[in-house]
Structures are given as structure tokens and as C-alpha cells.
Chain A
């Protein structure tokens, strides 16, 4: 029995079983939660088993979906190490989050709906990972989008949640248009959408380099939308209105990872497209930097984590852009682990404090919630890139690769941005840690703080262990990860950073933590210093407003779009309707005139007949 023939079952388990909670959940324990957990367990087991099966890779299988004359649109499955890693990661993280949800979401109304949507969400993500043709990818890509819409708007009676869901849907849809256009251009040029042929030799399928760049950039626009990179990032902070478990899933292994995965999956296409990778690197580095600055001033625990996600995804994009393919995938894996852990910890805090998200109203949690706080600390250390947590290993390689990129191209901007971001990252996450967990509470508590039950701590502890383990997959001494994940010989091999680079990155991160330590618990540096200068206040406002991206989008919508709509409205009502109504009115007038001929008197008709005959006779005689 070849297990590969059954790989397609990995996404199918949760997708097929997903209606069960919705249909029968009301009569089941936990609203049908065990169905969801069981289906994800099956997916996890199957995708983990794939790791250990000796097999020829890549495995590719299709079936015709739409046939039209000589051309076919195929649905397919494509298994190589990259898709295997992605599906296993998604299945495993989703499973942990679902277990955690048993308690976290336990008393929510509409729980069956939650399970069904989560199952479709993670199932679609695994389908996206294992898709064998780009059209299959696109289908699952859209399913992921629609599930994120449903889940962010889970509390749809709350106006903010409904608005956030709508925003996430619309903003990512802007990116999806780019993906769709790229897909059509690709099909028109290459006449195929199957991954193996596109990955093996993209430059012979699409001859023109300009067209290749157009396709690559279109795909990247789709990735920008999903992965919340500049300038389509605005949905991500607002998406925090959804349940924290949903945020954990969106921010680790599903939704946002989809964009990075898409670029990685089609990396050979980017490699043969001039300028495409430069754009990817620049957008990634800028997103990483700007997101980390926005996180500096936020007091919303979940928003800080959201900005950190955007920032870390920026690292991955920058890594892909500078040619650190393996390192980016490594960071994707590590980030999924520590970011879901951070969100689970934040969720536990929210659970205990009745949904409070403002870090100024938390404080002093470390004593009462040991496991939760330790999970956040581990996550913060991993996020900052401190040895020996997994974030250190991957971030280190990416920044090293950015430096090498600077050496070869003379463009050190990416390196500078990623290095500065490392400092800022360490600062903002430890700022949140100190204020929310370590410092004594500043306000009276309405709820009694206690550790969350075991069903919530076990997933956190599992992830804590993993943050200490997965980093060792790629060290200067032993590199298991990179040869595993490079699915083609044409992909660039990332070199280990030199010791000086590693140490400087580590020092940068430690400096960030030290500054946070000296500002918040120690108050050696007073945060009020910023408020005293007008420049400080200006920067602070700029960051709090998120560089006015939202404001300018709204202004754009109000000004340009409304104006354009008014013009179209005028054209429709006055010009098009005017022509139609004018023709009708003219016909009516003419009819009213002409009907006067019809007198209804027989004698008049007889006279007309006689007159007619006379006229004909005259014509005959004269003619």
C-alpha cells in the first residue's frame, strides 16, 4: 500500500465531516467539538505518517474537472516535502487550537457553527498546501478567505466584528484580483496550470520575461493581500475582533501563511522573472519594519500580536526576496509554533479577565497564571530571536541572507530594515510582557485571576516544548531542514550566517529587551519623555493612526470612488435612461397624432378606397 495515494484524504477528512457539527451539533456534547477534533486528528496522523514513509517524490495526480474541446482544467494533488510540511503543520496546529477551543469557546452560543467553520478553514488550508494545479490552489485560496470572513465575524451581532470581517474579506479580495489576473495570463501563455510542469521549467513555458514578471507580481499581489503585507495589511489588526482561537489559527498556520506559501510554492516562476524578487524583498522588509513600529504604541494585547505577525511575515517575504528560501520556510514553521502559542496565552488571559484586551488593565498575572505567563515569555523570547528558542535560528539565517544580499547587490536597505526590526520586535513584545504580566495591576480587578484548566494549558505546553525543539533542525553544525525543504535543484541554497552576524543580531534583540526592561519595570528611562517633545508626540500619533493607511483608504473611497459612482449614476439615469425614455415618448406622441386618421366611420374608409383607386388609375394612365 502506498500511502501517497491516500494523501488527498488529509484535507478531505475535515472538509467532508464539517457539516456534522452544524447539522447535529445541538444534540452532541460540546456542540460536536469531538467530530472536529477527530477529523483533525486523522489529518494530523496521516500527514505525519507521510513524513516517515519512504516514497518517490514529488507525487502528482489529477482528475479532469472542466473539459472544453482540447483544453482541460484539472483538479490535482501535488505532494513534495514543502506541501507535506505545510499540511502537517496546519493539521497539527489546528488540532491543538481545537482542543484549546473546547474550553475557551465552550460556553459560546453558535458553537456548532464555530466547529464547522474551523474544520472548513483548516481543511481548505491543507487543500491549498497539497494542491496540484494552480486552479485548485485558487479554489482553496478563496475558501480560506471566506472561512476567515465567517470566523472573524463569528460574533456577528457585534458591529466591530461584522465590520472587521467585511474589511478582511474586501481587502484580501483586492489582492485576489491580482492572483486571478496572473492565473489567466499564465494559462493563456503556458496553456497549463499543473504545478510539476510550471515548477520544472517556467521560462520555457512563458517565453517573454515581461509577461513572466507580470505574472509573478500578480501572484505576489494576491500574497500581499492574504499575508497582510504593505499596502493591504489593514485588515489584520481589525481581524482581532474575532475569537482569540481564530486569531491564533489565522496568524500561525492558515490564512496569513497562505500568502508566503504561495510565493514559496511558485518560487521557480519568481526566480526567472526579472525584478519580481526585488519587489518581494522590499515589500517584505518595509512591512516588517512599519508593522513593528506600529506595535510600539498599541495597548491592545491582541493588536500587538497582530502587528508582530505582519512583521514576521515581512521577514519571510524579505527572506524569499533575498533568496533565503529555506530560511523563510524555516521561519514559517517556527513562527507558526510560537505565534499560535502567544495567541493561546493571550486567549487564556482574555478568558480569565472577561475579554479585557487592554494591557494597562492587566498586570500581575505572572504569579497567578504560571503556565500561561511562561508560554507568553517563551513566545516573546522566540519572537525576539533569543537563543535557544526556535525564532533565533530562523531569523538569524534570514538576516544573514539579507546581509549577503547587500554584499552582492550593494543594496543594504533590506538588511538594515530587518536588523532594526529585530530591535523593535524585542522591545514591543517585552513591553507587552512587562506591562501585562509582570508589573502589578494598576486598576481594580473585577474578575478573580486563576490558572486556566488543563485542556487549555496542555496545548500551550506542547507548543512551548516545540519552540525549544524545532530550532535545532537547522544549526550551523547540522542542517536537516534546508535540504529537506528545497524541492528543486534550481532553488537557491541559503548559507549559514557568519558568527559575527549571528552575534550582532542576537545583541540587537537583547538590546531591545534591555530597553524595554529599563523603561517599564525599572523606569530608568521614562516613557513620558516622548510626550514632552512635539516630534515625539507627532511620531506617536502617526504610529497610533497606523501611518494613516486606513484614513487614506477611507478618503479614497469617499472622494474618488463616490465621485466616480456619482458620475456613473448620472450617466445611467440621465443618458441611458434618457435615450430609452425619449424613444418611448416620441413613439407615443406619433401614435397620438396618427390615430386621428382612424375616424371609425365606414363612409370615410369608402371614400379613401375610391380616392386610392382614382390615384392608381391616374398613375396608370399618365405613366
Chain B
């Protein structure tokens, strides 16, 4: 039986995987995907709390979260494309223009 805690655990697992991906991935696209995971873990949390408490605002916030994630993905991909164009690579460890 899938209950409240299982859903929240899924969300927490997804969040941890996302953070791990952000910290470890050298590929910019992978990092972008990891960020998507973090965003969606938040959405799941919203839906879970909304469903188990019966408050509808959570659903609305989840919808906004999906919209933001879509916009973020579009801009993120655009940024990665420009980075590729400028540096001929999307390996994040090789791009360190701001090194002090």
C-alpha cells in the first residue's frame, strides 16, 4: 500500500539523487537534468501534502512548479548551447573563466 510516507520518501530520494547529480556531473546537460529532478521532487512533495491534507493550494503550486521547470529547461538548454558555441565544450570542469 502506498501511503503518505512512501511518497515523501520518494520525493526525498529524488531530491538527493538530484543534488548528487548536480555536485558530481561534469556534463552541463546532465547537471540540467539533475536540476529537473530536484524541481520535480518538490512538485511531488506539494502533491503529496495536498492529497493527504485535502488542501488544494498545493496542487496549484505544483502546476506553477511544472511551468517554471519548463521555462527553466528551455533557458537552461539555450545557455548550454551558447556555452558550447563559446568554449567548444560542455565539460563544466574545463570552463573556469572566473577562477581567482
Contact = CB atoms under 8 A, between A and B. Distances in A.
Interface of A: 594-603, 606-607, 610
Interface string B2-38: 0000000000000000010011111000010000000
B98 interface: yes
Contacts of B99: 598-601
Contact of A610 (B23, B92, B97): B23
B100 interface: yes
B100 A595 contact: yes
B96 interface: yes
A601 B93 contact: yes
Nearest to A599: B99
Nearest to A594: B100
Interface of B: 19, 22-26, 31, 92-93, 95-100
27 contacts: A594-B100, A596-B100, A597-B100, A598-B98, A598-B99, A599-B96, A599-B99, A599-B100, A600-B95, A600-B96, A600-B97, A600-B98, A600-B99, A601-B92, A601-B99, A602-B92, A602-B95, A603-B22, A603-B23, A603-B26, A603-B92, A603-B93, A606-B22, A606-B23, A607-B23, A610-B22, A610-B23
A602 B31 CA distance: 10
Nearest to B22: A606
A42 B23 CA distance: 99
A600 B26 CA distance: 14
B33 to A, nearest CB: 14
A594 B92 CA distance: 23
Contacts of B26: 603
Contacts of A600: 95-100
A253 B54 CA distance: 113
A607 B97 CA distance: 18
A597 B22 CA distance: 20
B12 to A, nearest CB: 13
With most chain B CB atoms within 10 A of its CB, the pick from A594, A596, A602, A610 is A602
B91 to A, nearest CB: 11
A596 B25 CA distance: 23
A598 B100 CA distance: 5
A499 to B, nearest CB: 103
Top 4 closest pairs, chain A to chain B, by CB: A600-B96, A595-B100, A598-B100, A600-B99
